[in-house]
Amino acid sequence: MLDIATSMVFVGVLTASNCIAAFLMWRAYRQLHGLASVSAGCLALTTAFALMVVRDPHLITAGNAAMTLAIGLVTDGMVALLGGRPRRDWVLGATVFTVLFWELVQWGAPDSTLVRVAVATVVYIGFYARLLVEVIRSSAQIRGARICLILTLVGHMAVLVGRMAVALVDPDPFFVFSPRFLPWFQLEGAVVMMLTFFCIMFMVGAQLSATLKQRTLSLAAERRMHTQLRQFLGTLGHELRTPLAIIDRSAEVSLDLLDPAQPLIIRRLDTIRATVDRLRGMMDNLLMAERAELEVSDAERVDVARIVRDLMRLLAQKYEDGRITAALPETPTHVRGNREMLATAIGNILDNALKYSPADEPVHITVQQGGSITITVEDRGIGFPPHQLPQVGQRFFRADNARAVQGTGLGLAIVKTIVNKHSGLVTFANATNGGAVATIVLPSADTEIKP
């Protein structure tokens, strides 16, 4: 004979295991909100079975309310997994009704077990019927799991109806709780739970498979868009540079042809050349910002210290020679990435520091090698407003104290994007003695863990 204690332990362990499994799956796939409801329902079911062994009237009410809540949450969660609309208000309403009804009946007619069994059966069948309708309507799950779930629900509802019918005609209304029948009812419930949870796993698998397929299609579409964008950027850069070069060259030739020199025309032509130069710089920044958003290609071993030396020579033509001081290691400092993009990132930081610093103040750059490559650029310029530091590096953001200097707000955003694409980290801060400090940390190619 199956005894109550054995069936109670078995059912308790099973429901607790289902609760933990559903919770862990929900933690891994937060988009499957129905799993959280299923996990909570299994927890309530464990509580309901535990309260069955106590015959105190108020605890009987609590046990039946927990059972109603459990069945409501599990079926509601499964409806959500099938793509239906969750109805937590129905679940809570049925639970509140169970509490009030049980307390009222036990106070007014404590021996009316038949009424309580009948009402509970109607409530449970209502939840199961809603789930059954959703299963029949939905095609979100595998056919085998769908048939299994339909048969499980129909079979369980038939058992509930049969139990209610026996309770109505049996001379002993307490047969439901007798040692002869209760373990078998619990065993049948355990089988239903196992089959239901088996179907839930298939439903989750079907949803994840559909999500993966959708993401694969989205990724393929995104790659096509990136290819088209890269082609568009190349075409746009060529088409814009040509007319700008013509305008600039025409203004330059006009200046040479002016005889005699006319100050007003010279100022106008200088303005045209300065504007063209500004447009060229803005266009280059915009194109680089878009290019930096694309994946890093042509990864190679790049010596950061050599990039800095090249940039110092290049920027010496734009700013006074000696404005940049450097502390560079004698040995190569290799990172893996795209040399042109890394040079753009470091160059943007240096150019920014020089542009916002007094002409007589140097900018110092340090390259240090360890487990990673650290590049630090420190200036004595205007620094960053402390309350705007979190916004530095965002696209088109310009600090309040930088409005007087022309710019697009893209330079540091490009730096941030390029560094992130190289698995690095960039931070911006204010120096203790005034000015700004920008720090780039990149993984060293010489310390990469090889498979």
Strand order in the sheet with 436-443: 324-327, 363-369, 372-378, 436-443, 425-430
pLDDT of residue 435: 87
Assess contact for 38 and 4: CB atoms under 8 A: no
Assess contact for 78 and 131: CB atoms under 8 A: yes
Enumerate the β-bridge partners of residue 372: 443
pLDDT of residue 365: 92
Closest CA to 349 of 400, 301, 300, 419: 419
pLDDT of residue 159: 81
Q: Does domain 228-293 have CATH number 3.40.50?
A: no
Q: Which class would CATH give 4-220? A: mainly alpha
Cite the DSSP H helix spans in 258-338: 263-293, 304-315
pLDDT of residue 107: 78
Q: What is the DSSP secondary structure assignment for residue 329, as one 8-state letter? A: -
What are the residue boundaries of the structural domains of the chain, listed by start? 4-220, 228-293, 300-447
**Per-residue pLDDT for the chain (451 aa), expressed as one digit of tens each?**
455 566 666 677 777 887 888 788 778 777 777 888 888 888 888 888 777 767 677 888 888 888 889 889 988 888 888 778 888 888 899 889 988 888 888 777 766 667 777 888 888 888 888 888 888 887 655 666 778 778 888 888 888 887 777 767 765 555 555 556 666 666 666 677 777 777 777 777 776 777 778 888 888 887 787 777 666 766 766 667 777 778 878 888 887 777 777 788 888 888 888 777 767 766 666 666 666 655 555 678 889 999 999 888 888 877 877 788 999 988 888 998 888 888 888 988 998 888 888 888 889 999 998 889 999 999 988 888 888 888 888 877 788 877 777 766 777 888 888 888 888 999 999 988 788 999 999 998 876 544 4
- Cα distance between residue 157 and residue 57, in whole Å: 27
4-220 and 228-293 agree in CATH topology: no
With tokens 């330079």, the residue in question is 411
Q: What is the DSSP secondary structure assignment for residue 425, as one 8-state letter? A: E
SS3 441: strand
What does 373-408 look like in DSSP terms, one character per residue? EEEEEE--S----GGGGGGTTSTT---GGGTTS---
Q: Which class would CATH give 300-447? A: alpha beta
